[in-house]
Amino acid sequence: MRITVLEENTACRCDVTAEHGLSLYIETGEHRMLFDMGQTDAFAENAAKLGVDLSAVDIAILSHGHYDHGGGLARFLEINDHAPVYVHPLAFEPHYNGPVKYIGLDPMLLKTGRLILTGGDYEIDKNLSLHDCAHNPRPYPGHGAGLTVARGGERLPDPFNHEQYLLIREGGRRILISGCSHKGIENIVSWFAPDVLVGGFHLSKLDPVADAPQLCAIAGTLLSSPATFYTGHCTGASSFDVLHGIMGERLHALSTGMTLEV
From 83, 84, 82, 102, select the one nearest 93 (Cα to Cα). Answer: 102
* Span 163-209, pLDDT tens digits: 999 999 999 999 999 999 999 999 999 999 999 999 999 999 999 99
> Max Cα separation, the chain?
49
* pLDDT-above-90 percentage for the chain: 95
Question: Across residues 123-144, what is the average pLDDT?
Answer: 95
The answer to whether the pTM exceeds 0.85 is yes
Give the residue among 145, 182, 140 at the shortest CA–CA distance from 161: 182
Model pLDDT for residues 45-76, shown as the tens digit of each residue: 999 999 999 999 999 999 999 999 999 999 99
Cα distance between residue 252 and residue 240, in whole Å: 9
Q: What is the reported pLDDT for 246?
A: 98
**Confidence category of residue 144, pLDDT binned at 50, 70, 90:** confident
pLDDT greater than 80 at residue 145: no
Here the contacts of 207-214 (C-beta below 8 Å, separation 24 or greater) are 207/238, 208/238, 208/239, 208/241, 208/242, 212/242
> Strand, coil or helix: what is 123?
strand
- Residue ranges per domain, the chain? 2-261
Instruction: Kindly tell me the sign of the dihedral angle through the C-alpha atoms of 259, 224, 140, 210.
Output: negative
Q: Report the top-level CATH class of 2-261.
A: alpha beta
- Rounded Cα distance, 206 and 238, in Å: 8
pLDDT at 142: 87
Distances (CA, A) of 255 to 21, 88, 159, 192, 252: 11, 26, 28, 25, 10
Cα 115 to Cα 253: distance, rounded to the nearest angstrom = 31
Note the pLDDT tens digit of each residue in 231-259.
999 999 999 999 999 999 999 999 999 99
Query: What are 101-126's pLDDT values in tens digits?
Result: 999 999 999 989 999 999 999 999 99
